[in-house]
Amino acid sequence: MLPVLGIMEGRPLVANDEPVLDPSRLPGHVAVIMDGNGRWAKARGLPRTMGHRAGVDRLEELIRTAAELPVPILTVYAFSTENWRRSRWEVEALFRLAEEVLHQRLDRFNQEGVRLVVIGQRERLPGSLQREIERAESLTSGNRRMLVNIALNYGGRADIVQASRRLCQAVREGRLDPDQIDEAIFASFLSTAGLPDPDLLIRTGGELRLSNFLLWESAYTELWVTECLWPDFGRREFLMALADYQKRERRFGRVSSQV
């Protein structure tokens, strides 16, 4: 159980070299752009794919820490619609790795009460990966401890386009009146339908952009970017991001209560 946060001169108190968090102010949904695997591998004279492989261990650690806190929903960016522009070798290696994760680590996730869902356009993914996704989703569908959305062949714009297409279809079939369409109805057609928007988006690797991740859903999300490369992003870095989030005042367009 985490002790309650104390603030000293604007800094969170730390215990055992880890930031101490306020359990009553944890985010309900954290999104993560896991960037920097290639740079991490290059710095060690390794092929880029070894960086992705090292990244899988950090992802597992992140899921375990989130489950323990708890942060009940994680959405992680594993492969974007733009990642097809990488070499065929790297793309295939990433898909093989995703398949391996779903196959070899599934029982562990399942025992820990994790529900796995894949968001993104899965039709273009290799058939064997699609089958592993279906198996993982159906095996973990009853788990309630935490939800992990893995964004695979996901793009925020593509998701908004597919939502618009299905919305138009519903109008054409007479199931939806265009005058009824509001933000909530539109959001119900996105691949994240039914989920709260992310409270916090973490990006490793230092780039200051969203890279087409959760464009609609991130309208009021707090952003936290670190230079730390994804294969170095451990429990302590995650807790630091959460401690920083807990210092923020979320206004959602309102005037500050401190003014």
Which listed range, 32-40, 182-190, 193-201, 211-219, lies at the site for ligand FPP (CB under 6 A)? 32-40
Considering the complex, what minimum distance in angstroms separates the CB of residue 189 from ligand FPP? 25
How far is 15 from 221, CA to CA, in rounded Å? 28
List the x/- string, 200-219, binding to ligand FPP by CB under 6 A. -----x--------------
- Closer residue to ligand FPP, CB minimum distance, 77 or 245: 77
Helical (H) or strand (E) element with 169: helix 156-172
How far is 70 from 47, CA to CA, in rounded Å? 35
List the x/- string, 53-92, binding to ligand FPP by CB under 6 A. --xx--x------------------x----x---------
3-state secondary structure 170-237: HHHCCCCCHHHCCHHHHHCCCCCCCCCCCCEEEECCCCCCCCCCCCCCCCCCEEEECCCCHHHCCHHH
Considering the complex, what minimum distance in angstroms separates the CB of residue 177 from ligand FPP? 40
| Residue number with the smallest Cβ distance to ligand FPP | 38
* Residue among 50, 97, 148, 195 that touches ligand FPP (CB under 6 A): 97
Closest CA to 53 of 77, 37, 74: 37
Residues that bind ligand FPP (CB under 6 A): 34-39, 48, 52, 55-56, 59, 78, 83, 94, 97-98, 101, 150, 205, 230
